[in-house]
Chain A
């Protein structure tokens, strides 16, 4: 069943805290060397998922394998293969950056922990701050050190729980660069995020987790195809022209937005259809003041899927 190049495989995973069902049967696989993003809002079960995969929590039902080792029965072997960067930067504030890295290196029983420390300090641009206590580091520096500490044992799979939460935009972009870089070296990355653009930017494969279930899975492009049509937006000079255009484009099911004096029309994205629409307005002598084309974003996908799910289930 399990292919040679599968880094993580999860099947039928369930977990409850007392009466609260947090994970309700999760299945997915992650290919070796890829970046997998588990996307979901707060309380969707992302952190519980990461805790089970990193051996911190035991599942109630189902199973999970990391590099073919079972997370429950072979937790020691799993721990040898993985590293975890949790939500709150798990760095030691009282130690210096260098001491933090050496400590983890030695706990991983690396024969050259000191050399590896120097390498990582340089790679993560932390050499200048290496001998300062971490308490003096900025949020971005802590995250970088945290990641460096995760990489010092040459793990096969790196788990990142919301790696950019709390970072400023610059820090976020820098972090994305770092994650992409080490993913190129063949490490499998499993990350959770609540930011769609982050998943879009980084992940080869995205799974959307909502209320303990995976409601959609695929590449960013595949997910965007779940909303088959983008739409175009046409703006007009006044109320009268807006109404005329609306009547003229009746067959396209244009939806009227009085406030912005715009029409939204779902399209199949083809040039032909768009030309038809614009021609019809041209022939009717109604000038288009504003034209814009909206492609579906991951956010549309997310909101649509979550919305559908809410409709089926209960309202919270």
Chain B
């Protein structure tokens, strides 16, 4: 009986904390503009300004660029997850929570859940705008399920990385720092231009860094362009990032809340 009560309280605490976190995410104009409006704006720029000059072979530029835009959307989205967690850990409210008899895991769990929900929401909005701008796909249910799977795995991996940085950093600026690394990786991948148009060293870097297989596998699933075993490589990269950052973040969290 005691265990059941504990599990019930645990779940209830996590739900209450998540409710709080979600309000933080969805009530922040800044977050909504940066995470959702910026990728849409980027998409407009690339499709209507630069896209014409980029040779993407047999597929439309809009169809080419959507996977990269979605990945970028998730990278900036999780930066806000890091910021929210960092804010909680460095402000007075954490002392209030810690001095209350609540499930310790509930705070972090709420941030992770919020990050996944918010990023799913923003990806859907960005995808819908892409469709309005002419994005089309022949993907069937299986392909869509794999795309959703990869995107979820990527979101989870970046969420846990963001949790790690959010916990470690002393300030908000420090907490979001990692996201710039991801933005650079995205620009140095096949997100906006085909890799074969890149210069020597940059090209080999682009080929072997994780963003390229993730973007190419999604592109391949949505447009039918072959991309070898990039789906498998993406899953391996994402799982690796997820497991490492999960372990690290949990250790830091336990240490901080001890």
Contacts and interface: CB of A to CB of B under 8 A. Distances in A.
Asked if A pairs with B, the answer is yes
A149 B23 contact: no
B91 A88 contact: yes
Given A56-B99, A86-B96, A103 B91 contact: no
B138 interface: no
Contact of B19 (A85, A103, A108, A149): A103
B92 interface: yes
Contact of A83 (B17, B19, B99): B99
Contacts of B91: 88, 90
A311 B10 CA distance: 54
A103 B93 contact: no
Interface residues of B, number: 22
A184 interface: no
Interface string B15-34: 01101100110011000000
Interface string A84-125: 111111111011000100011011110000000000000000
Contact of A55 (B9, B13, B28, B98): B98
Contacts of A85: 96
B95 interface: yes
Nearest to A81: B101
Contacts of A51: 95
Interface size class of chain A, counting residues whose CB lies under 8 Å from the partner chain: 20 to 34
A84 B24 contact: no
B204 interface: no
Given A90-B92, A91-B93, A92-B93, A103 B16 contact: yes
B96 A90 contact: yes
B201 interface: no
Nearest to B16: A106
A79 interface: yes
Given A94-B24, A109-B9, A82 B93 contact: no
Interface string A55-87: 110000000000000000000100110111111
B99 A94 contact: no
Interface in B2-49: 9, 12-13, 16-17, 19-20, 23-24, 27-28
A54 interface: yes
B145 interface: no
A54 B99 contact: yes
Contact of B20 (A56, A79, A103): A103
B102 interface: yes
A107 B13 contact: yes
A79 B101 contact: yes
A99 B99 contact: no
Contacts of A91: 93
A76 B101 contact: yes
B92 A149 contact: no
Contacts of A90: 91-93, 95-96
B20 A84 contact: no
Interface in A140-161: 149, 153, 159
B53 interface: no
A110 to B, nearest CB: 11
A51 to B, nearest CB: 8
A79 B24 contact: no
Contacts of B1: none
A73 to B, nearest CB: 14
Contacts of B24: 94
Q: Which 6 A-B pairs have the closest CB atoms?
A: A90-B92, A88-B92, A79-B101, A90-B96, A84-B99, A54-B99
Given A83-B99, A109-B9, 20 more contacts: A54-B95, A55-B99, A56-B95, A79-B101, A80-B101, A82-B99, A83-B100, A84-B96, A86-B95, A86-B96, A89-B92, A90-B93, A91-B93, A92-B93, A94-B24, A95-B20, A104-B96, A104-B100, A106-B16, A149-B96
17 contacts: A51-B95, A80-B101, A83-B100, A86-B92, A86-B96, A88-B92, A89-B92, A90-B91, A92-B93, A99-B23, A103-B16, A103-B20, A107-B16, A107-B17, A109-B12, A153-B100, A159-B99
